[in-house]
Amino acid sequence: MTEPLAAPQPALRAHRPEISAAKARRWGAFYYAEQVLRVMKGYSWSIVMYSVGQPVAYLFAMGVGLATLVDSGNAAFGGVSYLAFIAPALLVSAAVMTAANEFTFPVMDGFKWRRIYYGPHASPLTPQQIAAGQIMAVTLRLLLQSAIYFAAVALFGASPSGWGWAGILVATLTGLAFGLPLMAYSASITEDKGQFALVMRFIVMPLFLFSGTFFPLENLPPAVRWVGWISPIWHGTELGRVLSFGYHEAPLLTILHIAVLGGLAALGWLLTRRRFALRMGQ
């Protein structure tokens, strides 16, 4: 009889390529989201500081400073304090600004500057999964940031209704409604000619100012009111106000807000997928 051999050291083996491929087909988008989150972790400190500092600064300036000059009893504010009136708008706008950053420069970095997408592109992941993974990671960031923002709003006593927390979801959805079409555009840019700076100055800022953020849209001259109607920020803000303090509007309009935001996000996602697949399949 032979002596039983000493137990062999378990060899370090990767699973078979077939298993890699099957797993990637199923979970690929999550694998890429994991990567984006790991990179974000590298600057998590500045993300948290931004997420906390921004609402505190805005709420303090607007709610404590500006509010003393604004007649809070004004019926145009839906019967709540000025701070409660603008809080949903600030929450939504902050999400849109973060989305505007996350869906522009990193996309350019992926395709052109540091060509980060082309690493995973050579792995079993597909271009569509790379896009989806990035979207998922940014969605998570928007949720986290909006939750912190909402906590600050609640601390300032600016969320009268019990449904105010749903503003976290509204803000995230609005971020995607604005950010995903922008992501599709970013993915189509081959030469950086400062387009993103133009987007910030001539799209994000005007939308921020003229979307019923600081005063009701009706206060604008009719000639420029359309800016609000096409603005995801306006739809998100109005929806947030309904949830936060029962802002009075036609129920159909509330449904329209959800439809516009959902529709823009879905359209943006589809266009982004197509762009990514086209650009990486050449």
Of 31-39, 68-76, 153-161, 258-266, the window that binds another protein (rule: CB under 8 A) is: 31-39
Number of shown-chain residues binding another protein (CB under 8 A): 39
Q: Which of 13, 68, 69, 222 binds another protein (CB under 8 A)?
A: 13
Q: What token pair was written down for 208?
A: 């921020």
Q: What token pair was written down for 228?
A: 């609000």
Closest alpha carbon to 153 in 232, 91, 215, 204: 91
Q: Is 31 in the site for another protein (CB under 8 A)?
A: yes
Nearest CB to another protein, comparing residues 5 and 14? 14
DSSP 8-state secondary structure symbol assigned to residue 157? T
Q: Is 20 in the site for another protein (CB under 8 A)?
A: yes
Q: Is 26 in the site for another protein (CB under 8 A)?
A: yes
Identify the residue whose tokens are 């509330």: 254
d(CA 230, CA 44): 33
Q: Is 34 in the site for another protein (CB under 8 A)?
A: yes
Q: Pattern of binders to another protein over 125-154, x per CB under 8 A? A: xx----------------------------
User: CB–CB of 234/211 below 8 Å?
Assistant: yes
Q: Under rule CB under 8 A, which residues in 91-120 are in contact with another protein?
A: 114-120
Nearest CB to another protein, comparing residues 10 and 251? 10
DSSP 8-state secondary structure symbol assigned to residue 2? P
Q: Is 39 in the site for another protein (CB under 8 A)?
A: yes
Nearest CB to another protein, comparing residues 140 and 220? 140
Burial of 203 (0-12, 13-18, 19+ CB in 10 A): middle
Rounded to a whole number of angstroms, the minimum distance from the CB of residue 217 to another protein is 41
Alpha helices for 43-126 (secondary structure H): 44-58, 82-102, 105-108, 118-121
Rounded to a whole number of angstroms, the minimum distance from the CB of residue 122 to another protein is 4
Q: Is 14 in the site for another protein (CB under 8 A)?
A: yes
d(CA 129, CA 138): 14
The CA distances from residue 116 to 10, 20, 40, 165, in Å, are 35, 21, 14, 36
Q: Is 46 in the site for another protein (CB under 8 A)?
A: no
Nearest CB to another protein, comparing residues 20 and 219? 20
Rounded to a whole number of angstroms, the minimum distance from the CB of residue 238 to another protein is 38
d(CA 63, CA 56): 10
DSSP 128-153: HHHHHHHHHHHHHHHHHHHHHHHHHH
Rounded to a whole number of angstroms, the minimum distance from the CB of residue 179 to another protein is 21
Nearest CB to another protein, comparing residues 35 and 254? 35
Nearest CB to another protein, comparing residues 125 and 152? 125
In 211-277, DSSP assigns E strands to none
Q: Is 32 in the site for another protein (CB under 8 A)?
A: yes
- Give contact residues for another protein (rule: CB under 8 A): 12-15, 17-28, 31-32, 34-35, 38-39, 42, 114-126, 280-282
